[in-house]
Every structure is written in C-alpha cells, then in structure tokens.
Amino acid sequence: MKPSVVVHGGAWNIPEELEGPHIRGCERAVSYGHDLLRRGGTALDAVEEAVASLEDDPVFDAGTGSVLTQAGSVEMDAIVMDGSTLKSGAVGAIQRVRNPVRVARRIMEETSFSLLVGEGAVAFARRMRFEDYPEERLLVGVELDDYLEFTRTGVLRTAEEFSGRSDTVGACAIDLEGHLACATSTGGIRRKMAGRVGDSPLVGCGAYADDRVGAASATGWGEKIMAVLLSKAALDRLAAGLTPSDACSDAIAMMKARVSGYGGVIMVDKSGTVGYHHNTPKMAFAFVEGSGSVKAAIRA
C-alpha cells in the first residue's frame, strides 16, 4: 500500500499576498503527515499531526488564527474519524485550547461518545490535562486588536466589515496497512452567533472516512455543506466508480445545484490516489501520493 496524505487550508477568495503563506503552511503540514506515514505511523497519527500543524499556523482560521464570535469569544470545532472502525471524535464550540483536533482524538479514544460541545468539551479537555490556552493567544492581527478593544470598550466590529474568509483546515491519509483517516478543524466564520457550530465537526459533513472506500474533508459554506453531507456525498460517488477527482468535482457540482453552496473537498481513496475540487476562486491544498514529492497549489 502506498502511504498518501492530502491537506487543505480553506476554500475562499484568498488574497494574493496570502497565497504564499497558505501554500507554505499546507506544504509543511503535508510533509509532517507523510513523514509519519513513511516511518510506519498510522493514518490517524498523520491527519492529527497535519491538522495540528495547520492549527498552529496563524495564517489559517483554526486554532491559532481563529476568529471572534458576536460575543467577542473564540469557539472552535474539530473532528477526527477512523476509517477502520468508523469511530469518530469531535468538539463543537470549544474554547481555550490550543489544538481542538487533539481533544477530538482523545474523545474518540477515551470515551464512548462522539461529540462534546461548549463547556462540556472544555471540561473534558481539562480532565485530559490540556492546558488552558487564553483567547489572546489564539487571536492574531485584526482579530486580536478587536478583542483587546472589545475587552476595553465592549464594542466589536461586525462581520460586514470583513471579506468572506473560510480557512477551515483538513487532512486525509492512508497508511502502510491500508487504513484511512481524516480530520477537519475550524475557528468558524467571523462574527458568527455564539454557539453556532458548522459542518466541520459533523460526521459525513466536514469529514468522513471508511477503509472500504476512502477519506474526505470539506471546507467552505458550512450550512450548505451540512445540507448535502458533502464529504459522504463525495465518497458515495467514489464508491459508485468515479475517480477521486471526478467524485470531488461531482459532489461540489451537486452542492451548487441543490443549495447554491460554495466550498471545496479533498479525498484519498483506498488505493492511495488523491482527489480535490472547489468552486470558490481559490483553495489552498497540498498532497503526497506514495513515494512522490510534495505538490501544492492555490487553485485546482
């Protein structure tokens, strides 16, 4: 089996000056993941480490670099899924942790549950000895400036003052044993309502993995992705005989036709072949298939 890994760093109209940082961040993340696979690491290890790398990169809206809610707080979502068991772990609207994806994996491995949200997710993270990570450390740039101003004055800029950013991050991998896994993480959309949870932590929406078919991770307009179960829809097309690239393209076209949705999806199939597609102006992604080299781009 050829170990393969693919990552994305969000599907939106990425400004030209941010294209380089997005590509470099994806290259770094996919290199971490593939190095683990080459050394015999599991697909779960690879997607966790790749996504954690993207969460730690302030360029992306996930972990460090997340955005503020209307209440002036940071609420993050993440999921991991194991294609060999179909088990998953996820967090929704979690606060004050550095790497939501790591908490999600512990939920999958340490509990009989799949999704914890809000203060329950935070309490679980503390029991698992994840340190309290203040919001000031999760915010960068204008979001940090706004947070400091908000704490001083109680006034927060509205979402209308920003461009439509969608920097959800994700990864899919297959390991030397042929097992598949996926992970997705996001800081959400700017000035979302407190408590809003999008597609990212939901099985079949933001991510899905099944050793019999493949693994997929989605990014984009969360409410539209949820409406069509985008990740599962892409894998269903793969199971029906489409190639990974065609499966991604067809699922995105279906989302656009049915609910006027915009976004992107990445995939790796059970033979280690990678696919990806988006209908937004740009999507940052990178991948390695088997013993090949890292390939990265900002447009499909």
The SS3 assignment for 61 reads: coil
pLDDT band, very low/low/confident/very high, at 109 (cuts 50, 70, 90): very high
DSSP track, 160-175: GGS------EEEEEE-
By residue range, what is the domain housing residue 197?
4-297
Neighbours of 245 (CB within 10 A): 15
CATH code, domain carrying 64: 3.60.20.30
Number of domains in the chain: 1
Give whole-number Cα distances, 37 to 63, 131, 153, in Å. Answer: 24, 28, 49
168 is catalytic: yes
CA distance 259 to 234: 16
Asked if residue 161 has pLDDT above 60, the reply is no
Q: Indicate the pLDDT class of residue 104, thresholds 50, 70 and 90.
A: very high
Q: Please give the backbone phi and psi of residue 119, each rounded to the nearest 5 degrees, phi first.
A: -65, -30
pLDDT at 5 (0 to 100):
98
The Cβ of residue 10 has, within 10 Å, a number of other Cβ atoms equal to 29
Q: Which of 42, 69, 168, 280 is catalytic?
A: 168
Q: Indicate if the pLDDT at residue 162 is higher than 70.
A: no
Residue among 55, 9, 41, 278 nearest 173 (CA):
41
* CB contact set of 45 (below 8 Å; sequence gap of 6+): 36
Residue 165 pLDDT greater than 80, yes or no? no
Which residues does 219 contact at the CB level (< 8 Å), separation at least 6?
A: 8, 10, 11, 166, 168, 169, 170, 184, 186, 263, 264, 265, 278, 283
Three-state DSSP state, 105: helix
pLDDT for 181-219, tens place per residue?
999 999 999 999 999 999 999 999 999 999 999 999 999
Model pLDDT, residue 158 = 80
